[in-house]
Structure 1
Amino acid sequence: MSAPHTPVSRSDFDQVIVPTFAPASFIPVRGEGSRVWDQTGRELIDLSGGIAVNSLGHAHPKLIEALSEQAGKLWHISNIFTNEPALRLARKLVDATFADRVFFSNSGAEANEAAFKLARRYARDVYGPEKFEIISALNSFHGRTLFTVSVAGQPKYSDGFGPKIEGITHVPFNDLAALEGAISEKTCAVVLEPIQGESGILPAEQAYLEGARRLCDQYGALLIFDEVQTGVGRTGALYDYMHYGVTPDILTSAKGLGGGFPIGATLATDKVARHFSVGTHGSTFGGNPLACAVAEAVLDVVNTPQVLAGVREKHERFKARLLSIGQCYGLFSQVRGRGLLIGCVLDAAWKGRAGEVFTAAEREALMVLQAGPDVVRLAPSLLIEDADIDEGLARFERAVASLAKA
């Protein structure tokens, strides 16, 4: 019999956790589907999805089964060996996408770190050491390692840590002329999010991604799509590049891939992937049997016509109600995004108040997100039931009404 847990409260965070985050005042302790319960037993509706991570909601039976079954077999074996769940998951990802090869890691940042290193290694091997420059978009987000914050176009995340990684240029998103002006024979890669996530749920334009692909081909650069947030069904296709019909050379995936269990994946064509030879890159926990078993179960559920169509249908249900609420209170100037990655852009009178909306929603037992100070972000379970959508948005309207009165 296990020993009883030591009681903890939100105040413990301020005593023992490094203060890189400022979490909400309540502590969730249990979840089921799109509902969450806190320490007091209060029930909340979750429209945040763990920041687009809980792709199947909380405690999905197929994920519990996959994890429990693998936990009774093999937890960790190291990359001196391979394992069955990793091989099955890699095969399914390859069969479902443009990619020929997969590198497994533990997070989106690690998946992007691998992608950027691979792009530079490929360019060095094929073209020589002068071809190492990377172009990314302003206000992008690619992770929190030194390399990934340097590639991302947000100085607030990269300043204050000493010299930055050299050879990185930032251009405005959706500005093809700016990209054309920046790319050169020294460019080894162009890195883009098909939908910019952290900066406000801003989709790329069709012509922009097509132009980026053309420019990369013209200059011998690789096109990398960061689909950490948009991947694994989030936008109504398995990966968002499929909506555009524009194929990258490298794609990164994480968040929803594990449905809540940490995993990252870097997908690449064989032409590129072969430049990561034995010893050039690695990960102690990458390809962990537990993570891969869970991710395989996620993929089996998500990558079906019914679930992907359901994501697209649920988008319309959300959008119609959100636009109605926005119009009633003068709240939103735009509701954008795709599938169940939705950004509600605050109107001029509400600018900078996304944090207040977050707090007011919590008072109404609703979990939402921000994407910067001017955008309320929703990224619920891909399987969220219509009743939970309706009740969640009823609570959201009550939250907005309370702010409007104040």
Structure 2
Amino acid sequence: MSHLFPTYNRLDMELISGEGTKVKDSDGQTYMDFIAGIAVCNLGHSPAVVKKAVEEQLDKIWHVSNLFQLSLQEEAAELLAAASGMDAVFFCNSGAEANEAAIKLAKKHTGKTKILTFKQSFHGRTFATMSATGQEKIHGGFGPLLPTFEYLPYNDVEALSKIEADDIAGIMVEVIQGEGGVIPGTETFLKEVQNKCREIGALLIIDEVQTGVGRTGVPFAYQHHGLHPDIVTAAKGLGSGFPVGAMIGRKELIQTFSPGTHGSTFGGNPLAMAAVKATLETIMDESFLSGVKSKSNTFIQSLKDKMEPLSLVKEVRGEGFMIGIQVEGEAKEAIEHLRKNGLLTLPAGPDVIRLLPPLTVTEAELEEALTILEQSLKQQTEEAVR
């Protein structure tokens, strides 16, 4: 028997090595990895620049308490502040922890208690972030949720117009709903969320755990829309596989998180900070991001041209290298076809194939993936007709 709690539906395979976009399982089979640890391995598997930085830090010191000065934290925070146009950073260990910090900061700074989020959102699995998540399947079996969260329909401007300034500390939103089905927010909707925050004195909190760190071709996805959030959360691709999260905020909020108001034993660990610094120095380079934009724009258009004519496919959508292919019926059969043909993908909701390749994926690898996708979905379509 396994001594692990069965909290994951694991595939009957183990990935034992990886480099760039390619991974190998324990049977020696090689795959193209368009999961990338769920948008974590933005620089691919085993990126040399991050490996070198972590190895150098391993020879110095692994862990110290946040009671001491940590220059690597300062350097990584400066990079995040520059990339986001914001001012201060709190480091933690995950996206859920970053969202916990954002919730606490918003409530403490405003003196209000309610947080508005959106249906089909996903913000984490701690009790507060689970309560913030607008999906019933995440809530089941845990009894009453925290009562200070309310869910509005996503991309619904009319629903926003009905919000009243009733003890609302913040509105938390994803620019693209990831777990909810790779659903991009419209610019009109996102700007109205910002306007409503300003109108009622609430903080605008943008969850960039999956969309951030270059995933959509800019440092953070809100920058596509000219938004000015008060708080941004990041994790996943931030440390190239090291457990790390960050809450980024404006200078007006700094004094609210004074000594003793929040903390994390492992947050800002020197090894994680070495990985973060090396990752950010690579990804936030203008030429790197322009390459992501160019490759992803071409790939999305090719996907639309090849996939959307298939009767199985409803829509191709997304931004950068966060892409969803919505299919008729459930996506799990298509995902299994793709895996058997050498391409690893994952679902986003019941009927969406999610593609999250490393940002370092080559044009040749994208062509290879496109061929596998076209052949696999055509094959499934033909099987369904028989």
With normalisation by structure 2, the TM-score equals 0.96
Q: How do 1:202-351 and structure 2 match up within 5 A?
A: 202-346=183-327, 350-351=328-329
Assess, with a 3 A threshold, how the Cα gap between structure 1 residues 357 and 183 changes in structure 2: closer, same or farther: farther
Indicate the residue corresponding to 1:155 in structure 2. 136
Assess, with a 3 A threshold, how the Cα gap between structure 1 residues 325 and 16 changes in structure 2: closer, same or farther: farther
Q: How do 1:109-120 and structure 2 match up within 5 A?
A: 109-120=96-107
* 8 A Cα contact 1:146 1:158, kept in partner: no
The SS at the match of 1:334 is strand
The SS at the match of 1:18 is coil
Indicate the residue corresponding to 1:362 in structure 2. 339
Check if 1:179 corresponds to 2:160: yes
* 8 A Cα contact 1:301 1:307, kept in partner: yes
Indicate the residue corresponding to 1:169 in structure 2. 150
- Read off the aligned partner of 2:30 and give its amino acid letter: E
The whole-number CA distance in structure 1 between the counterparts of 2:323 and 2:36 is: 12
The SS at the match of 1:24 is coil
The SS at the match of 2:224 is helix
Check if 1:82 corresponds to 2:69: yes
Q: How do 1:83-122 and structure 2 match up within 5 A?
A: 83-122=70-109
Runs of 4+ residues over 6 Å off in structure 1: none
Alignment RMSD (CA, Å): 1.3
Check if 1:52 corresponds to 2:39: yes
The whole-number CA distance in structure 1 between the counterparts of 2:277 and 2:249 is: 19
- Read off the aligned partner of 2:338 and give its amino acid letter: A
Deviation, 1:52, is 0.7
* 8 A Cα contact 1:185 1:220, kept in partner: no
Assess, with a 3 A threshold, how the Cα gap between structure 1 residues 171 and 57 changes in structure 2: closer, same or farther: same
Indicate the residue corresponding to 1:33 in structure 2. 20
Indicate the residue corresponding to 2:364 in structure 1. 387
The whole-number CA distance in structure 1 between the counterparts of 2:215 and 2:368 is: 21
* 8 A Cα contact 1:118 1:273, kept in partner: no
The whole-number CA distance in structure 1 between the counterparts of 2:196 and 2:355 is: 33
* 8 A Cα contact 1:325 1:331, kept in partner: no
Deviation, 1:163, is 2.2
The SS at the match of 1:99 is coil
- Read off the aligned partner of 2:11 and give its amino acid letter: A
**Stretch moving more, 231-240 or 272-281:** 272-281
Indicate the residue corresponding to 1:371 in structure 2. 348
* 8 A Cα contact 1:358 1:367, kept in partner: yes
**Stretch moving more, 108-117 or 307-316:** 307-316
The SS at the match of 2:56 is helix
* 8 A Cα contact 2:312 2:381, kept in partner: no
- Read off the aligned partner of 1:204 and give its amino acid letter: G
- Read off the aligned partner of 1:234 and give its amino acid letter: R
Deviation, 1:18, is 0.9
Unaligned runs of 5+ in 1: 1-13, 125-130
The whole-number CA distance in structure 1 between the counterparts of 2:310 and 2:184 is: 25
- Read off the aligned partner of 1:190 and give its amino acid letter: I
The SS at the match of 1:190 is strand
The whole-number CA distance in structure 1 between the counterparts of 2:4 and 2:274 is: 30
Unaligned runs of 5+ in 2: none
- Read off the aligned partner of 1:239 and give its amino acid letter: F
- Read off the aligned partner of 2:15 and give its amino acid letter: P
The whole-number CA distance in structure 2 between the counterparts of 1:223 and 1:294 is: 29
Give deviations 1:371-393, integer Å, cap 9, x for gaps. 01111110111110111111122
- Read off the aligned partner of 1:68 and give its amino acid letter: E
Indicate the residue corresponding to 2:59 in structure 1. 72
**Stretch moving more, 26-35 or 389-398:** 389-398
- Read off the aligned partner of 1:398 and give its amino acid letter: Q
* 8 A Cα contact 2:311 2:381, kept in partner: no
The whole-number CA distance in structure 2 between the counterparts of 1:290 and 1:100 is: 23
Deviation, 1:328, is 4.7
What is the percent sequence identity of the aligned residues? Answer: 41
The SS at the match of 1:64 is helix
Deviation, 1:95, is 2.1
Indicate the residue corresponding to 1:200 in structure 2. 181
The SS at the match of 2:349 is coil
Give deviations 1:49-73, integer Å, cap 9, x for gaps. 1111100001111011011111111
With normalisation by structure 1, the TM-score equals 0.92
* 8 A Cα contact 1:258 1:294, kept in partner: yes
Assess, with a 3 A threshold, how the Cα gap between structure 1 residues 183 and 309 changes in structure 2: closer, same or farther: farther
- Read off the aligned partner of 1:208 and give its amino acid letter: F
The SS at the match of 2:366 is helix
Indicate the residue corresponding to 1:3 in structure 2. none
- Read off the aligned partner of 1:235 and give its amino acid letter: T
- Read off the aligned partner of 2:196 and give its amino acid letter: L
- Read off the aligned partner of 1:229 and give its amino acid letter: Q
Deviation, 1:280, is 1.0
* 8 A Cα contact 1:84 1:289, kept in partner: no
Indicate the residue corresponding to 1:4 in structure 2. none
Indicate the residue corresponding to 2:10 in structure 1. 23
Give deviations 1:320-374, integer Å, cap 9, x for gaps. 332233245323222111100001111xxx222x111111111111101110111
Deviation, 1:16, is 2.0
* 8 A Cα contact 1:363 1:399, kept in partner: no
The whole-number CA distance in structure 2 between the counterparts of 1:149 and 1:221 is: 21
Deviation, 1:172, is 0.3
* 8 A Cα contact 1:44 1:366, kept in partner: yes
Deviation, 1:235, is 0.5
